[in-house]
Structure 1
């Protein structure tokens, strides 16, 4: 285990949300070599990314190892900060990508594993599939969460510093002599380490909700509501199946009694 660089902050937990996913395009595509390798029909990119309005990932994440299918040259790819933490390739088949996350040394935490199944073909409703084909892009990503329990003091300081949001800001110089430049956020959504209350423009592409449709508390509530509806529908289906099974059981019992009676009658005849 990595050596701890400072004492730990007791009874404290730090949490970071981030995205793991991939995007894929039918070849030829301007972002991939042309002509593509023989037999390769798709260009794809697998990645680990921050939330659109979240803190800088490199505050806590320093390296990401992507393990591709063994048929790829240099199947194990290590990407170090500042990133971006992504791997681009071409191919024709889907497979599971093993992902290993390495944290900042001052965190005193071991690396952790995640896995992402590479999605190349359009998916979802017929409308979603048609849009993916029309725009020639398939995006498959999910929200992940990392929890750091009782972080080291040094790591806690870095994870609660305002500087981790500087990547979302631009330098703005005031008018007049002697006015200093300051870092200003241009987003309409307040930067936060948690899920934003409302969607951030440009997020959620490929998730069936359109741009800006995902990765917010609004979306989270929508998903929970859908899960509740699905659970209720499943409960009704189970109750229906139980009644059907009970009816079949009674019918089998009646059939069994009838067979037993017929056997007894045949026995008396002989």
Structure 2
């Protein structure tokens, strides 16, 4: 996979792209991580990339020309590298508070692409023509506003790259992550078996694989019910699991009422 990030602050990505899982994935040649300063594609002598909005109002708006220029440069570069063979067009992702909420499902979808281009904005917003005629996707990492799109882009890139084959030491890690199956992940324990009087559940020490699987599934269901019940509406559940959840919900409601 190739990932290009259009940003006014490429130095912000130096440590992130060179460290931990992302750094190892890049060193293995699994992913190419690049930054492009779209100020380099400004078409004026002062290298400005923003201007006042038509119609007035506070703040500055990112101009269309430098961002279109940067993306088109990348597309031309991709075509040259492909030596005129047919290549799949990249997904061009605009990081924006108005975008589609980012999720594990979206991360999985993006991980199947061969080339991603992320656009990180600043100031009041983007010239609308960037949305209408350039990008293929708009993503948001939450209902809040940050200074720019760099931190959200880092979040998305990290979530996507860890899903690529060969990136994680244990391929099962990504499969059992929270949200991978629509539920929150079950609790984990490691040595020692007892710490300050707190013991690891007996089932996990039993060595009985089938019982461990059952225990983890129920723990995942209960944790989701307590912390993120809305996720259960879309989760794939068996009739037995739905019945168990209904009984567990009643138990939790009774426990809550008795504690008042």
TM range (shorter): under 0.3
Comparing both structures, which one devotes a greater share of its residues to helix? 2
TM-score where L is the length of structure 1: 0.27
TM-score where L is the length of structure 2: 0.27
Comparing both structures, which one devotes a greater share of its residues to strand? 1
- Structure with bigger gyration radius: 1
